[in-house]
Homo-oligomer: A and B are copies of this chain.
Amino acid sequence: MRMLINVPETVVADALRGMAAAHPELTVDVENRVVVRRDAPVAGKVALVSGGGSGHEPLHGGFVGPGMLSAACPGEVFTSPVPDQMVRAAAAVDSGSGVLFIVKNYTGDVLNFDMAAELAEDEGIRVAKVLVNDDVAVTDSLYTAGRRGTGATLFVEKIAGAAAEEGAPLDRVEALARQVNEKSRSFGVALSACTTPAKGTPTFELPPGELELGIGIHGEPGRERRPMMTSGEIAEVAVQAILDDITPRNPVLLLVNGMGATPLLELYGFNAEVQRVLAERGVPVARVLVGNYVTSLDMAGASVTLCEADEELLRLWDAPVSTPGLRWGM
């Protein structure tokens, strides 16, 4: 095991200390594991709280800031945060206008955010929840009943965050978040396994010369293994898997996401192939984002997420955002 860490037990705490030291615009509570935008609570604004296991950075802590999340709760690596973190985050960011919990569909996250919602409501905080479950690769998995939440989380957090920043009320922000999730689909592929600090060995064994199609973001199994394919062939499979599930009638937002260890040089090349396939299938692309946004530690591979965007979603996507991981227009 060769990792740039001290000991596995302090990886998350060390990373939070490092985030605090890098981003004075965030308030990082290392002990309680909550990342909050410094100006929270913002008067009259609905707050957005998300969170999940660590190891997917910049998701979620790197998406905290004006125009996106109000707070994030990082759990241990690939492990749900606990309700106490979520309640603490909600209390820190609620201005009285309510809080939207954005929850990726994994059993632990769902249970803990449910419990946190109850506890927060007991404290007088209005809470709405949206579940993100965009991954078309598998229905049930190691960690989920139903589809997994992956790349669409970024679209949900950005677009709902923009609406909240404009002053939309809680029911509207919730409805938009739900709409973005419903209009989004993802498919991922792994060229290598990832290694968690606690385990120290790869989460699965990929025989030489093979890749895994339909992978999740925790090294959990995908749809099938195949002999190595070209970037163009992988793009065909990923886009087709998505288009088997939805038929976009509007131009799409496209996320070509790296799983962590795949060089940007390769991601750009993959983007060229994904956009070629989309053009061949008659799907116009309105906006594109290429990079490492929803990662799986040191896994090599990539995922494709499409979100069908009407004029309103497109406008909210383009709205200014200022976070460590996503920033434009301010």
Contact = CB atoms under 8 A, between A and B. Distances in A.
Interface of A: 2-7, 10-12, 14-22, 54-55, 57-58, 62, 77, 191-192, 206, 209, 211, 228, 230-232, 234, 256, 260-273, 275, 285, 288-290, 292, 295, 297-298, 300-302, 322, 327-330
Nearest to A55: B265
B271 A22 contact: yes
A72 to B, nearest CB: 13
B302 A264 contact: no
A79 to B, nearest CB: 13
A2 B228 contact: yes
Nearest to A206: B2
Number of copies: 2
Given A231-B4, A264-B57, A269 B14 contact: yes
A43 B92 CA distance: 49
A22 B292 CA distance: 14
Given A6-B230, A191-B3, A269-B4, A298 B300 contact: yes
B295 A234 contact: no
Given A14-B272, A272-B17, A290-B22, A265 B54 contact: yes
A190 B155 CA distance: 34
21 contacts: A2-B192, A2-B211, A2-B228, A2-B300, A4-B267, A4-B300, A6-B230, A6-B269, A11-B269, A14-B231, A15-B265, A15-B269, A17-B269, A18-B256, A22-B288, A22-B290, A57-B264, A57-B268, A58-B264, A261-B300, A327-B328
